[in-house]
Amino acid sequence: MPTMTTVRTPEDWPTTEEQARAVQDELRARVILDEPGPPPGTGRVTGVDVAYDDERDVVAAAAVVLDASSLAVVAEATAVGRVSFPYVPGLLAFREIPTVLAALDALPCPPGLVVCDGYGLAHPRRFGLASHLGVLTGLPTIGVAKNPFTFAHDEPDTPRGSTSALLAGSEEVGRALRTRDGVKPVFVSVGHRVTLAGACAHTLALTPRYRLPETTRRADALCRQALRQTYSV
């Protein structure tokens, strides 16, 4: 079993919407968009995801490292902490980042590219969880979401690998990507230190059998397991 870390919310963590937006504004300026990122299918790739227990105000995070070529699990870690911010659309990263960072920090090896179940630039303030995590850790990050949030897109063509632009007005903030023939697309956006084309290529490399990346599927299962185990001891 992975080690589980118990997390405290940092003392300087934002407590109001105004403070959180100020942090987003400051950190957004540090996002790097002109690096290609690691080649898909090489090195390591790590999925992060969270599960909530709203009644107890607890969040569990998981980080699962895969070998990018074989998709075999290399390492995994979990962390459990208090939800660190109220529910506010556009500020969800503040609810979970301390716990996600703790799970990443508990890994016994470098994570390589980090794949978030959520958004990077495809965010109303162009600074979703993938961008936030990337800036704080310095790691290349991408967001692969299950729905398009508030953005418009045309349906991609039917074959796997087809894409269409995810648009905020005329600005492309991500892409709808078909990972299975004829199956609902996923929504890919850059987090930090990766191109959009690279983010889509990584996503295709991580979806040999299912709609969602293996990183997300494994991290989702592990964070739910961690949440259950928190109350079974």
- What whole-number distance in Å separates Cα of residue 131 and Cα of residue 113? 12
**Nearest partner of 7 among 93, 137, 88, 103, judged by Cα:** 103
- What whole-number distance in Å separates Cα of residue 52 and Cα of residue 75? 23
**Nearest partner of 144 among 82, 210, 99, 76, judged by Cα:** 210
Is residue 157 a known part of a binding site?
no
Residue 144's contacts (CB-CB under 8 Å, 6 or more residues apart) are: 115, 116, 117, 186, 187, 188, 199, 203, 212, 213, 216
Supply 228's token pair. 């259950």
Residue 9's contacts (CB-CB under 8 Å, 6 or more residues apart) are: 81, 82, 84, 98
Supply 25's token pair. 């504004």
* φ, ψ (nearest 5 deg) of residue 20: -65, -40
Place of tokens 């191109």: 195
**Residue 200 near residue 177 (C-beta atoms within 8 A):** yes
The CA-atom distances, in angstroms, between 182 and each of 21, 41, 168 are 38, 24, 25
Is residue 117 a known part of a binding site?
yes
Residues placed in the known binding site for Mg(2+): 49, 117
Residues placed in the known binding site: 49, 117
